[in-house]
């Protein structure tokens, strides 16, 4: 693992009793609040864990990877416990390091989630960047994403098995597409948790730059990298808009440049600063979270994203809406309703 060199140790605020709702993206949070209050849903998914064979997953890593503790990967263990303390995580999931050249980490399991970090990330990240990665995965664990991600994996396997049934496959494809959209928003939630664990936006940005480049940070420019996100959102014509929709349909993660763009927006809008200043939802209030209010927040999030989007298709739809609104106003002025 890369060293921090002469970088000073940062003092981080401990976010005591913080609820996962603090970092969850509105579209992610709305679904989670509803499912948490849906009696029996967690039980049903856990019963399905037999089909996913969670025990086999854990045994695979127990037998073929390294379980992190004070004696194995001690630096990773220290960063992990520190990230957990910052996010006030009181029950640490097991953490494994597995041999893989792919830059990835994941939180899996239903009854007892655990975290797996690929060796490429350990080698490619410095300590503060790894703190962000571990905070990201702890955010997934605290939000309960592992439970629903396991369902997504199971449904994807089922979709492949039913491809010979056009109607059944189409229905499952729609469900899987919706779960992929949820998964992408859950990744944005994880990024926010990672930032709250690291409490340094520059670190969060470096992680995304390394993920996009394979670690070639010295060859990159921060301003240009962020500008790519703006260009992705606004460049091209309607053909590019459709292509972006098709490219995203089967993606469980947003693209790295877009993740950086979204996290920067979250910081710029002030929510991150509000949380580290001590103003955030507390976990003891989770049971009282309003499903209807979270649904409104989710809808507002999509509406705001649509309204500020510079994507050609979004601009066309807004123009059409404005045009139809103008026609409606003209008709109303010429033919007022009778009393």
Phi, psi of 129 (to 5 degrees): -65, -40
3-state secondary structure of 178: helix
Question: Angle, nearest 10°, between helix axes 41-52 and 26-36?
Answer: 100
Q: What is the full per-residue pLDDT of the chain (339 aa) written as tens digits?
A: 655 544 556 789 999 999 999 999 887 776 666 555 555 555 555 555 555 567 778 889 999 999 999 999 999 999 999 999 999 999 999 999 999 999 999 998 766 889 999 999 999 999 999 999 999 999 999 988 876 666 666 666 655 555 544 544 555 566 666 677 777 888 999 999 999 999 999 999 999 999 999 888 999 999 999 888 888 877 666 666 666 666 666 566 778 888 998 899 999 999 999 999 999 999 998 878 666 665 666 566 546 554 655 555 445 554 555 544 444 444 455 445 555
Residue 283 covered by a domain: yes
Q: 244 exposed, middle or buried (CB, 10 Å; 0-12, 13-18, 19+)?
A: middle
Per-residue pLDDT at 52:
54
Q: Is 137 a known active-site residue?
A: yes
Which domain covers residue 44, as residue numbers? 20-331
Q: Annotated catalytic residue: which of 129, 137, 233, 262? A: 137
Q: Where are the alpha helices (DSSP H) in the chain?
A: 26-36, 41-52, 54-64, 74-86, 119-124, 127-143, 145-161, 166-198, 201-213, 222-234, 238-249, 256-268, 271-276, 291-308, 312-334
> Does a structural domain hold residue 1?
no
Please tell me the predicted confidence (pLDDT) of residue 323: 47
The answer to whether residues 273 and 248 touch, using CB atoms and an 8 Å cutoff, is: no
Q: Would strands 105-108 and 114-118 be described as parallel, antiparallel, or unpaired?
A: antiparallel
In a domain, residue 3? The reply is no
- Is 337 part of a structural domain of the chain? no
Rounded to two decimals, what is the model's pTM? 0.77
314 lies in some domain: yes
- The residues, any chain, with a CB within 8 Å of residue 291's CB and separated by 6 or more, are 30, 33, 34, 37
Q: CB-based burial of residue 319 (10 Å sphere; 0-12 exposed, 13-18 middle, 19+ buried)?
A: exposed
pLDDT of residue 328: 47
10 in any annotated domain: no
Total of domains in the chain = 1
Question: Does residue 141 lie in a domain region?
Answer: yes
- Distance, CA of 198 to CA of 203 (rounded, Å): 7
In a domain, 4, yes or no: no
**Dihedral of alpha carbons 159, 165, 166, 172, sign:** negative
Rounded distance between C-alpha atoms, residue 37 and residue 41, angstroms: 9
Closest residue by Cα to residue 67 from 98, 102, 101, 90: 98
Tokens 């990298």 correspond to 225
CA angle 46–51–53, rounded 5-degree value: 85
Closest CA to 76 of 100, 99, 103, 95: 95
Q: Which of 106, 102, 128 is nearest to 3 (CA)?
A: 128
pLDDT (0 to 100) of residue 319:
53
The neighbour count for residue 6, using CB atoms within 10 Å, is: 5
């Amino acid at each position: 693992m890369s060293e921090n060199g002469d970088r000073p140790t940062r003092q981080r605020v401990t976010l005591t009793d913080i609820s996962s709702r603090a970092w969850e993206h509105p579209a992610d949070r709305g679904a989670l609040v509803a499912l948490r209050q849906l009696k029996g849903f967690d039980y049903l998914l856990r019963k399905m864990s037999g089909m996913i064979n969670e025990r086999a997953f854990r045994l695979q890593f127990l037998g073929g990877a390294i379980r992190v503790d004070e004696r194995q990967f001690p630096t990773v263990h220290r960063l992990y416990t520190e990230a957990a303390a910052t996010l006030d995580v009181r029950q640490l999931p097991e953490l494994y390091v597995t041999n893989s050249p792919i830059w990835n980490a994941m939180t899996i399991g239903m009854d007892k989630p655990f975290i797996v970090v690929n060796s490429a990330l350990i080698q490619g990240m410095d300590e503060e960047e790894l703190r962000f990665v571990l905070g990201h995965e702890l955010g997934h664990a605290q939000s309960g994403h592992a439970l629903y991600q396991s369902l997504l994996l199971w449904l994807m396997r089922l979709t492949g098995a039913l491809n010979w049934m056009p109607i059944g496959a189409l229905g499952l494809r729609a469900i899987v597409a919706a779960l992929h959209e949820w998964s992408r928003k859950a990744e944005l939630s994880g990024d926010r948790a990672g930032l709250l664990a690291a409490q340094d936006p520059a670190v969060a940005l470096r992680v995304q730059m390394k993920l996009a480049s394979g670690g070639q940070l010295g060859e990159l420019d921060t301003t240009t990298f962020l500008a790519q996100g703006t260009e992705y959102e606004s460049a091209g014509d309607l053909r590019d808009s459709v292509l972006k929709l098709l490219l995203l349909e089967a993606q469980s993660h947003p693209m790295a440049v877009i993740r950086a763009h979204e996290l920067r927006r979250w910081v710029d809008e002030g929510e991150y600063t509000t949380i580290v200043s001590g103003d955030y939802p507390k976990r003891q209030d989770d049971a009282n979270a309003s499903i209807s209010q979270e649904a409104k927040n989710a809808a507002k999030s999509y509406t705001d994203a649509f309204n500020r989007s510079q994507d050609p298709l979004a601009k066309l739809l807004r123009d059409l809406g404005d045009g139809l609104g103008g026609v409606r106003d003209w008709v109303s002025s010429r033919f007022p309703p009778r009393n």
